[in-house]
């Protein structure tokens, strides 16, 4: 089990990842490529949380499945992943601003 830097995990959670997702993503960046067993040995995260984290990270395009048997994942570049997370927040901000403007126009 490896201790990941707390500031890194906090930064990733501030960008919208759950703590378990942040840990799984960081582990995949460090390990380059890993399966479930590797992640279980590397992290202090339960197996269900690893599965949930992998599912969400893959759905958000932050990791890719590189092999179906054995299941192996790889993280996309942190520079690209961080830009994707920031863009998602900026889009949400812009949408919220638009919604507030629409509310003002209705009142």
In this predicted structure, the answer to whether residue 13 has a pLDDT above a threshold of 90 is yes
pLDDT confidence of residue 104: 75
pLDDT confidence of residue 106: 74
Q: CATH second-level architecture of 6-106?
A: Orthogonal Bundle (1.10)
pLDDT confidence of residue 96: 93
First and final C-alpha spacing in the chain: 56
* Full-model pTM: 0.88
- The domain spans of the chain are 6-106
Q: What is the pLDDT of residues 66-79, one digit of tens each?
A: 999 999 999 999 99
Task: Please count the other Cβ atoms lying within 10 Å of the Cβ belonging to residue 51.
Answer: 15
d(Cα 23, Cα 99) in Å, to the nearest integer? Answer: 33
Task: Please count the other Cβ atoms lying within 10 Å of the Cβ belonging to residue 62.
Answer: 24
d(Cα 79, Cα 77) in Å, to the nearest integer? Answer: 5
In this predicted structure, the answer to whether residue 87 has a pLDDT above a threshold of 80 is yes
């Amino acid at each position: 089990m490896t201790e990941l830097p707390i500031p890194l995990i906090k930064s990733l959670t501030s960008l919208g990842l759950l703590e378990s997702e942040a840990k799984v993503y960081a582990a995949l960046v460090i390990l380059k490529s890993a399966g479930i067993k590797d992640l279980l040995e590397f992290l202090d995260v339960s197996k269900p949380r690893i599965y949930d984290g992998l599912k969400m990270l893959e759905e958000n395009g932050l990791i890719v499945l590189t092999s179906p048997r054995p299941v192996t994942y790889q993280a996309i570049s942190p520079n690209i992943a961080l830009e994707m997370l920031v863009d998602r927040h900026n889009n949400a901000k812009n949408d919220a601003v638009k919604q507030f403007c629409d509310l003002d126009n209705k009142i």
